[in-house]
Amino acid sequence: MTQSPATPLPPTKERRRLREAASLTQAQVAARLGVARETVRGWEAGRTSPRGRKGEAYAKLLTTLAGPDHQKPPEPNRKPDVAEHQPENSAPAEEPEAVAIAVAVAVAEDPVPAVQPVERVEPVETAGSRSVDPAPVVVRTVRAPERVAGPEPEPVTSPADLTPDQAFDALYAFCAPALVRQTYLLTGRRELARESVERSFQLAWQRWPEVAVDRDPAGWVRAAAYEYALSPWHRFRPRHRQPEPPPVDASDRALLDVLLHLPPPYRRALLLYDGVGLGLPETAAETEASTPATANRLLNARAAVATRLPELADPAALHRRLTGLASAGRLRAAKPPAVRYCGERRARFWTRAAIAFTIALIGTTALTVRTAPTHYEPPVAPGAEVHGVPPHVAPGPLSEAERELRSKLREETVRGPERLVPRPG
């Protein structure tokens, strides 16, 4: 799918031997490369092959481990005071959000930074002669700031001691700004990008027990935001029928137009791989597609972009342009408390609506049972025509004989007939 790394990779057994010879674990190698530990395990077992920027970084790391002047890490019983170097735009594989959550909460609660990174230069000593390498290595240490007056600073709270509200707010502050810019590249609409991110975090807050224990909460929220942003039902909304103003810069406008003309699956795969920097297996897993299908989408998307914009045929140049386009727009996300409040209010509304619908359904069922017949009643048979009955004649004028008879009957009725009265004997 992508070009092979400039430095060739050794065989799979040699990769593992080099790592073990340097006393490195798979988790430490994964942290340096910004991938998951299972990915490194698959590379060493030969199940998968590293590609792209991660493959180049892995090849350079193995070349460094195979060199004669490689220094082994400190002993296990020694407590290191420096952080491992990590590549840009990458996060450690083991609990990447835990450290960010703790630091974000500490910064949010204290206006003065709780920790200040200080760069210092330390020489690298070889494993054999312990001589000083003329090329220094820049590492980052952490020291507490100096305070003139005031109370002593509180220690940074560990992720296990955070309340759900604090952990959610820290995750939102850590992921929301970048996620809004990524969603803007998917849709080309600023309002829809902010709405998608807010809805995804509201859904995460409703399912916080599930999201909190997820191995990648940022990926969970990103997948939910992308699904909502790429929903085809937005085209029926009145305010989304008219396009939003494009970017001011002509090159950014051309790139955004090319992205919006790509099919949504191609656009999503291109953004995750060349924009966010995920590997091909991670991109395939997040898009719920197979690895060959994701590679095919990525190739077609790159070809479409290179056809319209030949200067972006290089993946590195495309990555820089995507980052610049996302950072050019003024996209601001809402505050974490507002997102939590809207999520809780939406959850209460739908809960009450479900309860009301259930009560109405139960009442309708009870009324039907109460008014339904308890035994079988045969239907009334349709009427049948009866023959031989004279037709009904309406009354008409009386004849002369009928008038005489009527007069006679009336007279006898008034005077009455003669009656025989019995006499006693």
Question: What pTM value is reported for the model?
Answer: 0.49
Q: Looking at the domain assignment, is residue 95 inside a domain? A: no
For 1-10, 19-28, 131-140, which range has the lowest pLDDT when averaged over its residues? 131-140
Domain boundary among 301, 336, 371: 336
Q: Looking at the domain assignment, is residue 329 inside a domain? A: yes
Q: Looking at the domain assignment, is residue 405 inside a domain? A: no
Cα–Cα distance for residue pair 5/53, rounded to 1 Å: 8
Residues 179 and 36 in one domain: no
For 31-35, 64-68, 182-186, 273-277, which range has the lowest pLDDT when averaged over its residues? 64-68
Total domains in the fold of the chain: 2
Q: Mean of the per-residue pLDDT values for the chain?
A: 74
Residue 156 makes CB contacts below 8 A (sequence gap 6+) with 102, 103, 106, 114, 115
Residues 24 and 173 in one domain: no
Q: Looking at the domain assignment, is residue 393 inside a domain? A: no
Residue 200 makes CB contacts below 8 A (sequence gap 6+) with 179, 221, 222, 224, 225, 228
Question: Where residue 43 sits, what CATH number does that domain have?
Answer: 1.10.260
Q: Looking at the domain assignment, is residue 120 inside a domain? A: no
Task: Please tell me the number of Cα atoms within 13 Å of 156 on its side-chain side.
Answer: 21
Q: Looking at the domain assignment, is residue 89 inside a domain? A: no
Nearest to 36 by CA among 17, 54, 12: 54
Domain boundary among 72, 106, 126: 72
Q: What are phi and psi of 140, to 5 degrees?
A: -115, 125
Residue 141 has pLDDT above 80, yes or no: no
Residues 186 and 61 in one domain: no
pLDDT digits (tens, 9 = 90+) for 209-264: 898 888 888 889 999 999 988 888 888 888 777 777 778 888 888 888 889 889 99
pLDDT digits (tens, 9 = 90+) for 26-44: 888 888 888 888 888 888 8
Which of the listed ranges 143-157, 177-191, 347-361 does the model predict with the highest average pLDDT?
347-361
Which of the listed ranges 120-129, 359-368, 405-414 does the model predict with the highest average pLDDT?
359-368
* Domain extent for 223: 164-336
Question: Where residue 251 sits, what CATH number does that domain have?
Answer: 1.20.140.160
With bands split at pLDDT 50, 70 and 90, how would you rate the model's confidence at 293? Answer: very high
Q: What percentage of residues in the chain have a pLDDT greater than 90?
A: 13
Domain boundary among 315, 336, 357: 336
β partners of residue 232: none
Q: Looking at the domain assignment, is residue 108 inside a domain? A: no
Q: Looking at the domain assignment, is residue 181 inside a domain? A: yes
β partners of residue 141: 118
With bands split at pLDDT 50, 70 and 90, how would you rate the model's confidence at 355? Answer: very high
